[in-house]
Amino acid sequence: MRIVQIITSLNDGGAEGILFNICKNDDKNKHIVISLMNEGKYGPLLNNLGIKVYCLNMKANIFSIFSIFRLVKILMLLKPDIVQTWLIHGDFIGGIAARLAGIKNVIWNVRYSKLEIVKTKISSILLIKLLSKLSFLIPKLIIVVSKSAKKNCENLSYSKKKLFLIPNGYDLSILNPSKTKRIFIRKKWKIKKQIPVIGNVARYDPKKDHMNLLNALSLIRLRNIDFFCILAGSNIDKKNKILVSEIKRLNLGKYVKLLGQKKDISQVMNGLDIYVQSSSNGEGFPNVVAEAMACGTPCVVTDVGDAAFIVGKTGLVVSPKNPIKLAKAIEFTLNELSSKNWINKSNHARLRIKDNFDITKMLKSYNKVWVKTLGVN
């Protein structure tokens, strides 16, 4: 099959990473990628794999009729068997362009979970409500990444019969426990062997609620518990004045290191003892939690999106926006580090990802949906 993947951008994000892994590991079909915006992080990586990438260079929040016509023209030239679209704007613009190009086999890919009116842009709310109406007309099938995303789509009146749940899958040959990586990265971070390391990898965004994590760490420090915390992600650096100011206010300067955006996620996760996901809302299927677990790093997560489902019984789950509960969960897990059970805990974390979220399972599910799409009238 010739499958054209249309996504909003190819920047460093969860959906973009999964799209890249599908293109990289699926040897049954030919994939072509169209980014509505720029080539970002993954454009060059896709090109290196020999996968053709088109970039329309649309500007954020600017609707361009000329770009849509260009997209229609590209689709008519490519003549794909299936067009699969990703994210809100990708689903809307990509879906309409595909239909204008005469392509009926359209699949949407929905990544967001609970829609919080107060914290979501009005333009996004209106677009999502429009997509719910168009779900009966444009796509043949709709892939949802998580149970929470599926429930959310049902609540928003998307076409229920078109919804198919496909959790993310991970390449465990890359994401695995490594003593070599652990020793190397901790030396690079200049962290003493006996100091436990907590980590969080997320772009700077209110949804990720870094302040929740920092407040929890402050509470732990008041109990004179030793730790070091690594924060990584887009705009997580010394240029972020708000973040730096909050770290200083909470007297955490000696205990928190800002790394910025990192390419080798496996190396970062191997350097940690505990991964903490502190999000307040907006998560669908948080990749970083699964990536940490695949590297044998147990997790403490807030109950947002499918984080609790990913962790299962291998870690701790607390309510969001509650630094007191988050601090208690982190402290409990830090105390477990010295126990004989810790190695088992690490092994069980990786085993859960291997049994439930291996990339081969995800690819089989996608291929089933692609074949099914061709057979839907």
Identify the domain containing residue 52 by its residue range.
2-169+358-375
**Region 225-243 average pLDDT:** 96
CATH (domain of 92): 3.40.50.2000
pLDDT at 232 over 90: yes
pLDDT (0 to 100) of residue 113? 67
Whether the CB-CB separation of 280 and 209 falls below 8 Å is answered with yes
Mean confidence (pLDDT) of the chain: 93
This prediction has a pTM of 0.88
Same domain? 243 vs 216: yes
pLDDT at 231 over 70: yes
CA distance linking residue 16 with residue 10, whole number of Å: 6
* CA atoms within 13 A of residue 263's CA, in its CB half-sphere: 4
Same domain? 210 vs 326: yes
C-alpha distance from residue 274 to each of 53, 258, 271 (Å): 37, 17, 9
pLDDT at 124 over 70: yes
Same domain? 243 vs 369: no
How confident is residue 66, by pLDDT bands cut at 50, 70 and 90? confident
SS3 string, 181-195, reads HHHHHHHHHCCCCCC
Same domain? 134 vs 202: no
How confident is residue 193, by pLDDT bands cut at 50, 70 and 90? confident
How confident is residue 65, by pLDDT bands cut at 50, 70 and 90? confident
pLDDT at 47 over 60: yes
Same domain? 146 vs 204: no
Same domain? 267 vs 344: yes
Q: How many domains does the chain have?
A: 2
pLDDT at 137 over 90: yes
CA distance linking residue 142 with residue 153, whole number of Å: 10
Same domain? 128 vs 186: no
